[in-house]
Structures are given as structure tokens and as C-alpha cells.
Chain A
């Protein structure tokens, strides 16, 4: 089974748009499970040094797939996440 790591990057406590982004990722993950891809979702803090060290200055919400930031400062729809995960 293929495993893909999806990180949702936002402030702590999460802002409304970051929660919307996370929900989109969760919905995509559910669909992808049926086609045999396991998505590991992590919520990481945009304010932490490690995150900035790794990804640089970002606008929340951002989403990284397998360690590469693909979405910066917007809420994607689940289909888009699905496509990005499949490409990863």
C-alpha cells in the first residue's frame, strides 16, 4: 500500500480557513483509501522554528505533500488534493 504524508500548515490555535483546509484533506484521504493509498495527515504549526527552517515563510493555510509545499495560502477542494496525492 502506497503511503503519502500530507502536512497541513497553519497557526496554533488553528484559524477557520486552516480547519477548512484540513477538512478537505481528510475528505480526499477517505476517497483515496478506497483506491489503496494511505494518507497520513499531520497538522503542523506555522509558527514553529522547525517548520520555518524547513519550508520558509508561508501564508496560512499551506499544505505540503511528501515534504514539498504545494499549496500556499488558500483552501483547496478535495479533488485537487486527491490529484496532488496521486501525482506524489
Chain B
């Protein structure tokens, strides 16, 4: 009895904290309070060079802390509360379920990169095959929950929406095309298992609510610890970019068709699964609240397939032909969708 009351109080406190975090975001919406930084290049340039990053970081965090707090807490909560075992049980069952789940759950399960490759291998081995596995692999970093939320809050929700749609199309196309190639089929044949009905060996237990909530917050903290150092390093680079990179250079080289090609080529090597692509993209293409080229920005944000660490792990399982195919398809996709979005939105 005593124990029960304690647990309830603890769960209540954590829920109250989460409610406050959600409330803060809603309040910032109502007040039309900007969660993105507000400094203009000229104002930044007025500071001495070593002060610029400090001023910028202060400006950034004084606005973005609500957004970051919300993003990390929600990512932790969703990851912890999603019934992972039920989802993964069905992931290997058939092609259609495989593709649907790959698209549907990738955004929620892959805020932590260490779950990505195991799930990729699992889907491949367990029967859904190489197609859904590739779709999952490409969808995962492209539109994970944290990335979309920060793209929406720090850049614009229109761009975030375009990013989701483009990622779904590219991931699906890559999966379907690779499952039809001879080398894709070969890998599939090689790995498919004869009798895979392992569901009986899983009887996941659920701890009480207060422990799950606490674990969710701990996971949120773990994510923050993993991501924030890179994020801050990215911001320091961005502060100089914003202060000293003249708008004419961006307009000259990083907009239009050439800009999209350049952005898609740079977006790959500079992509890190740590949200840095978002702050860098913002630093380059967003000037005083206007996006100079929505098309190029989208191409840049879609640079995930060259993510070296994951490509390496995947190539160990599938060999280089599959990796090369998906890298090419994903790169072409980022160019095509950049052009398409640029033309449709009138901001090439």
C-alpha cells in the first residue's frame, strides 16, 4: 500500500513536469514567441570575433531551450512508451506490412542510432526482405522525430513537411528498386531463414508506470548528452557563417539548379545524425527569417544516405553493391525533390 502511494506520487510528479514542458511550447505558440534565434548578420558582425559564438549561443539557447526540452522529452517518452516488441514482431511478416511499418515506426524508434542497424538486419533476416529493410534504413535518419520537430521549429513547418514527404518517397523507391535488382535478390536469398517463428520466445514485461516514465526521462537525458555537444559545435560554426558569409555568395552559388546540385553533394559528407544539418542549413540559407532557396535547403537536409558510420555497418551485411545503389538513389532523390519543391514553392 505504502509502496503504491509512493509510486503514484512519483508518476504524478513526472507527468506534471511533462505537462509543464508541453504547456511551455503551447504558451510560446500563443505568445508568438520565436523559438529560433533573432540576431541579424550585421548585429553579429559588430562583435569581436571571439565573442560572436558566445553571443550567438546565448541568443540561440535563450530562444530554443523550450523547443529542445520539448523535443528531447517527447522523443524519450515516445521511445519508451511505444510497444516495441509488438511492432517488431510484425515487422518481418510480409512485404506490405514490412514497408508500412518501416515507414511508420522509423520516425519513433530511431532517435537513437544504435537501434537502426539491428532493426535493419532483423527486418532483412526475418522474412520481409531487403526492400523494407532499405526503406527503414533510409527513412530512419531522414525523418526521425527529433529531426522533424527541430526542422519545423527552427526553420519552418512547411520545409519539415516537404522533408517528410520527400523522405517517404525516396525511401520507398529505393526499397522497391533494390529488391528488384539481381544483387538485392541475392542478398535476400542468402539471408532468408527457413523457419522463422520466433515470437514464442518473447514475453516482454512492463515495469510500473513511474519507472517507465523515469526511464523515459533518463533516455531523454542520454539523447541530449549524445547530441548537444555536436549541436553546440555546429552552432559555433554557424555563428561565423551567419556573421561573415555574404548573402551574395549564397544567392550566387547555393540557389537555383546549381545550388541544389551543390547542396545535395555537400549535404552528404557533412551530414551527421546529430541534427547539426538543421542548424547548418539554417545558418546558410535562412537570412533574417527568409529562406533564400527552399529547394536547395531541402536537398541539403536530405543528405543522410552518405552517413558513413551506418553505411559501413550496412555494407558488412549487404556488401557494397546494395550500399552503392541506395546511395545513388537517395542522392538522385534529394536532387529531384529539391528541384520539385523549389519549383512548386517558387523558391528555387
Q: Is the CB of A47 within 8 A of B121?
A: yes
Stretch at the interface among A9-17, A26-34, A35-43: A9-17
Helix, strand, loop or mixed for chain B's interface? Answer: helix
Instruction: Name the interface size band of chain B.
Output: 35 or more
B205/A60 in contact, CB under 8 A:
no
The reply to whether A57 and B204 contact each other, CB–CB distance below 8 Å, is no
Which segment, of B59-67, B111-119, B263-271, B274-282, faces chain A? Answer: B111-119
**Is B202 interfacial (CB 8 A cutoff)?**
yes
Besides A11-B118, A15-B112, 19 new A-B residue pairs in contact (Cβ under 8 A), listed by A number: A16-B114, A17-B112, A49-B191, A53-B198, A54-B198, A55-B198, A56-B92, A56-B196, A57-B91, A57-B119, A57-B126, A58-B202, A60-B114, A68-B201, A69-B202, A69-B204, A70-B203, A73-B79, A75-B218
Q: How far is the CA of A53 from the CA of B196 in the complex (A)?
A: 6
- Give every chain A residue within 8 A of B80 (Cβ-Cβ): 74
B297 on the A face (CB < 8 A): no
Stretch at the interface among B81-89, B170-178, B230-238: B81-89
Q: Tally A-B pairs: CB < 8 A.
A: 106
Pick from B91, B114, B203: contact of A69, CB under 8 Å: B203
Q: Report the minimum CB–CB distance from A76 to chain B (whole Å).
A: 7
Cβ contacts under 8 Å, A77 to chain B:
211
B 186-239 contacts with A by CB, 8 A: 191, 193, 196, 198-199, 201-205, 207, 211, 215, 218-219, 222, 226
- In the complex, are the beta carbons of A68 and B202 less than 8 A apart? yes
Contact B115 A49 (CB under 8 A): no
Within 8 A of B (CB), among A44-84: 46-47, 49, 52-60, 64, 67-77, 80, 84
Contact across chains for B201 and A67 when beta carbons are under 8 A apart: yes
Residue A18 at the B interface, CB < 8 A? yes
Residue in chain A with minimal CB distance to B203:
A68
